[in-house]
Amino acid sequence: MEPLYIRIHGRDNVAIIVNPEGLPAGTIFPCGLMLSEAIPQAHKVALRDLEKGAAIVRYGEVIGHGEQSIARGSWVRAEQIAMPAAPSLDSLPMATAVPSRLPPLEGHVFHGYPNADGSTGTRNILGITTTVQCVAPTVEHAVRRIKSEILPHYPGIDDVVAITHIYGCGIALDVPGADIPVRTVRNLARNPNLGGAVMVVSLGCEKLQPSRLFPSTESLPMPSGEPYVIRLQDEEHRGFGEMVGAIMRMAENRIKELNDRQRRLCAASDLVVGLQCGGSDAFSGVTANPAVGYAADLLVRAGATVMFSEVTEVRDVVHLLTARSVSVDVARAVVREMAWYDDYLLRGGTDRSANPAPGNKRGGLANIVEKALGSVAKAGSTALMAATGPGERVLSKGLVFAATPAGDFICGTLQLAASMNMHVFTTGEGSPYGLAMAPVLKVSTRTNLADRWPDLIDVDAGRIAGGEATIEQVGWEIFHAILEVASGKKKTWAEHWDLHNDMALFNPAPVT
């Protein structure tokens, strides 16, 4: 492969090295640039001499200022870059650059499971919700038996999932922030892929009582002739065997109802697709995320809901989000979520600089500003239609910012609670991440990762860097893969291997 670097924007004074093994000192590019030292793949090279204090520009935006002078052709390292302050939330452009609506994309469909509440599932799963960690091992034991003894008789069921967590007791419920984990558990039980067939297993003495979790029976449909809640401390349960038996009997009643469901032709507008990064690198904003962003635009044009999240990974580009918000009210909602999270981090004695991770830096990302500029690329180019808080259901069509922490498992859990029925996950350093409640389509930023992990990566976007494919081509590939996976015609690698990370609640409230 000939020496190759990628410069994103005309204003950029740094570029990233494309060659998989990096390039040695003395390498000369066709433009005449010569490397003064060896530079690894994905790391930055100075395209001109940079004085101490000079702005370092990538994506056309300032990602920091030089701590020292940096010569043309040198490796621009993370420790040489002083990170700028985050954009002030007090003087942001509000709905000043709303993108024009793209032409509708019609005729694209998938085969899904319509639900009574108007949502649509891409899988047919029985979920068993727990109110407290004390019952989790019992429920997980019952789930193992349900899978081995009951599911073989009901071929229409994809899986049984225990919605377990470490919440429910030893907590303060009537304090700021406590509503987040409660509504997250509630909305997880209402995920479209669970079909409204809600089951709850309670201990009996916990603070998070079923009536607190589901205050209205309207949000918790009852199966025919059976209670919808099992309390393990009730007198009728004489020992562990009877507890498990009661869970299994209720589960089979629910499974019978779910098994009657059939996949039906649904418009692509019924999709609720969550987007997330994990193990990001400097190619994330060059290949995978722009391709996912193109697919996001296609989904929005088809009438679907597309949500992106990870507050700290968009905080430094908040000015871009508020400007493209469809209204001032939506822009204010974005600011509200950013301000809440700024305060949350401040109370914890930290700030956004705790992100990125060591692996991100190994992959060429200098700081959270550079990471955020690459992360937001997966949001595509359409207007931002809504912004919601952690654990809230997303009801809007189009592009939505669903606020979450950046941690993969917490973000995935909150997106499931927001009604996600399909997940797209981009990675540069690699992650075998998966979710039990929704299929996860993994997109690699680099071809060498896809080659190394051929049975974990579903789409290789690294071809874009080498010129073997365009962003548009890979975007369409991702779009069609989403429809195929949503229809059940194709399994993702995470589904194939049953890779299901534990769900993780976001709990900013005190634990007593």
292 and 411 assigned to the same domain:
yes
Task: Kindly state whether residue 101 falls inside one of the protein's structural domains.
Answer: no
- Worst-scoring range by mean pLDDT, 29-43, 225-239, 294-308? 225-239
Looking at the predicted structure, is the pLDDT value of residue 225 above 80? no
Looking at the predicted structure, is the pLDDT value of residue 59 above 60? yes
What is the average pLDDT score of the chain? 95
pLDDT above 90 as % of the chain? 95
324 and 437 assigned to the same domain:
yes
Looking at the predicted structure, is the pLDDT value of residue 391 above 50? yes
Rounded Cα gap, residues 398 and 68, in angstroms: 44
24 and 73 assigned to the same domain:
yes
55 and 178 assigned to the same domain:
no
307 and 385 assigned to the same domain:
yes
Instruction: Count how many domains the chain has.
Output: 3
Task: Kindly state whether residue 94 falls inside one of the protein's structural domains.
Answer: no
Quick one: DSSP state of residue 501? Answer: P
Task: Kindly state whether residue 228 falls inside one of the protein's structural domains.
Answer: yes
Task: Kindly state whether residue 211 falls inside one of the protein's structural domains.
Answer: yes
What is the CATH number for 19? 2.30.130.110
Task: Kindly state whether residue 21 falls inside one of the protein's structural domains.
Answer: yes
Of 342, 372, 367, nearest to 83 by C-alpha is 367
**Is the Cβ–Cβ distance between 128 and 184 less than 8 Å?**
no
Per-residue pLDDT tens digits for 235-259: 999 999 999 999 999 999 999 999 9
180 and 124 assigned to the same domain:
yes
Looking at the predicted structure, is the pLDDT value of residue 221 above 70? no
Per-residue pLDDT tens digits for 173-193: 999 999 999 999 999 999 999
Write out the two tokens for 137.
């091992």
81 and 116 assigned to the same domain:
no
What is the CATH number for 178? 3.40.50
116 and 234 assigned to the same domain:
yes
Task: Kindly state whether residue 266 falls inside one of the protein's structural domains.
Answer: no
Per-residue pLDDT tens digits for 276-321: 999 999 999 999 999 999 999 999 999 999 999 999 999 999 999 9
Task: Kindly state whether residue 273 falls inside one of the protein's structural domains.
Answer: no
pLDDT at 1: 83
- Segments forming the whole domain that contains residue 196: 112-259
331 and 466 assigned to the same domain:
yes
Looking at the predicted structure, is the pLDDT value of residue 218 above 70? no
189 and 57 assigned to the same domain:
no
343 and 405 assigned to the same domain:
yes
DSSP-assigned letters across all residues of 329-393: HHHHHHHHHHHHHHHHHHHTT--GGG-S-HHHHHTT--SHHHHHHHHGGGG-SSPEEEEE-TTPP
Looking at the predicted structure, is the pLDDT value of residue 224 above 50? no
| Strand arrangement, sheet containing 398-402 | 384-388, 398-402, 305-308, 272-277, 422-427, 440-444, 459-460
291 and 374 assigned to the same domain:
yes
The reported pTM is: 0.96
pLDDT above 70 as % of the chain? 98
Rounded Cα gap, residues 348 and 367, in angstroms: 20
